[in-house]
Amino acid sequence: MSEVSALMGAVAEGRTRVEEGGLVGMITLRGDLDSARVKAAVKDATGLDVPGQRQVVTGDDASVAWMSPDELLIVVAHDQAPGTVAAMAQALADEFATVANVSDARALFRVSGPSAREAVAKLAPVDLHPASFGAGEMRRTRLAQVPAAIWLSGDDELSLICFRSVAKYVFGILELSAADGAEVGIF
């Protein structure tokens, strides 16, 4: 696994803060999400239940997000990822399922501040108004020209995941969208 994250924790300070989230363990599980074995493997590895459609559930040391009808994203500490993958792969050895460590394939960003929703909303074809998008929802979409997944990770804080290869592009558009003076004030 890589010892540095995509942008090594780059930060753009301002009223809206953009931060590359550093090293994070990310695991993709593909299989039948209704299967008892899959549910048990997720529970044993994270202590969490398999989330429903477009939901993300968060515990003390892990998050589990519904990515598609047959795909989960499991977020753990970076150094925990290899062990978690091995344990889940073993638990699902006889199941039609795959578990892959995708930590190095992705980059994580956090956008925080009172206008964080707006900064992201300018880049994605998604209604991020508080009445439409709330905590516990994982929304896969695009940010400008690249795929991304967005969820609310705190009051006035959104987290985003994109492919590592486009991390610099995503940081650039977030920084521009979040720049002081670029607030729209519509939310």
Partner 1 sequence: MLILECPCCGVMADETELAPGGEAHLKRYGPGSSDEEFEGYLFHRMNPKGVHFERWRHANGCGKWFLAARDTNTLEVFATYSAQTPEPPQHVLDAIRAKRPDWSLDQ
Nearer to partner 1, 129 or 142 (CB): 142
The window from 4-12, 20-28, 138-146, 158-166 that contacts partner 1 (CB under 8 A) reads 138-146
Q: Does 134 bind partner 1 (CB under 8 A)?
A: no
Among 18, 139, 150, 173, binds partner 1 (CB under 8 A): 139
In terms of CB distance, is 32 or 71 closer to partner 1?
71
Stretch that binds partner 1, among 100-108, 139-147, 151-159, 172-180 (CB under 8 A): 139-147
43 contacts partner 1 (rule: CB under 8 A): no
Let me know: does 104 contact 170? Beta carbons within 8 Å. no
How far apart are alpha carbons 144 and 169 in whole angstroms?
Answer: 10
Closest-CA residue to 66 (of 132, 163, 136, 11): 136
122 lines the binding site for partner 1 (CB under 8 A):
no
Q: How many CB atoms lie within 10 A of CB 27?
A: 25
Question: Per CB under 8 A, which of residues 73..112 are in contact with partner 1?
Answer: none
Q: Give which of 154, 127, 156, 155 is closest to 141, Cα–Cα.
A: 127
Q: Report CA Rg, the chain.
A: 17
Phi and psi of 105, rounded to 5°?
Answer: -95, -10
Binding site for partner 1 (CB under 8 A): 53-54, 67-69, 71, 125, 139-142, 147
